[in-house]
Structure 1
Amino acid sequence: MRTEEEWAAYTKRLLKAEMTKRGVTYDQLTERLAALGVHDTSVNIRNKVARGKFTAVFFLQCLEAVGCKTLHVAED
């Protein structure tokens, strides 16, 4: 059974992996989120991701912003 901290770390790794796959920086993510109507600073977004504790809505917005259409969530 995973702890809440382990879930947060896993979620953070998923999002960062999708950003890395697509070569998206935090500044680019900030711009892309703004185009979706999500207005926040690059520093705040970086901090949210670093904590790994963010809403499912924010997670999905980020995935949309980086162009992720499918997500493999099983950890081997």
Structure 2
Amino acid sequence: MSRLDKADCYARDDEQKRRWSLAASALIKSRLVLARMSYRDLQHALADMGYVQHANTIATKLSRGGYSAAFFLMCLRATGTTSIDLPRE
């Protein structure tokens, strides 16, 4: 594989990761709406689970899509989500 081919492959991988990150953030945001929760409500629910962050920090994480799987699962639990349907590509 040439250097150019590898660069193209990495670019596609980055694009795929970005798409999935945006989908994860959209899912959490939609669950917040369904649960009628604000970022401050989410902050308090996460604090009850032992994760202490300011509401603005949580909002920033969700807007940029960069966070751990643990944070994703805690947000889903905090909104009362018990199951999800994964998006099809």
Considering the TM-score relative to the shorter chain, is it more than 0.5? yes
TM-score by length of 2: 0.78
**Could you list the runs of 5+ residues in structure 1 that have no partner in the other structure?**
none
Quick check: 1:18–1:66 contact (8 Å CA) kept in 2? yes
What TM-score comes out, normalization by structure 1 length? 0.90
Distance 2:18 2:73 in 1: 20
Number of residue pairs matched? 76
Q: Of residues 16, 20, 26 in structure 1, which corresponds to 2:39?
A: 26
Unaligned ranges ≥5, structure 2: 1-11
Distance in 2 (CA, whole Å) between partners of 1:62 and 1:70 is 13
Question: What displacement does 1:5 show?
Answer: 1.3
Shift of 1:46: 0.4
Ranges of 4+ aligned residues in structure 1 off by more than 2 Å: none
Distance 1:20 1:13 in 2: 11
Q: Which residue matches 2:83? A: 70
Q: Of the two, which has the highest radius of gyration?
A: 2
CA distance in 2, matches of 1:74, 1:30: 26
Considering Cα pairs closer than 8 Å and 6+ residues apart, tell me whether 1 or 2 has the greater RCO: 1
Give the alignment partner of residue 61 of structure 1, picking from 70, 74, 77: 74
* Higher helix proportion (structure 1 or 2): 2
Identity, % of aligned pairs? 26
Whether 1:17 and 2:30 are equivalent positions in the alignment is yes
* Post-superposition offset of 1:75: 3.8
Alignment RMSD: 1.5
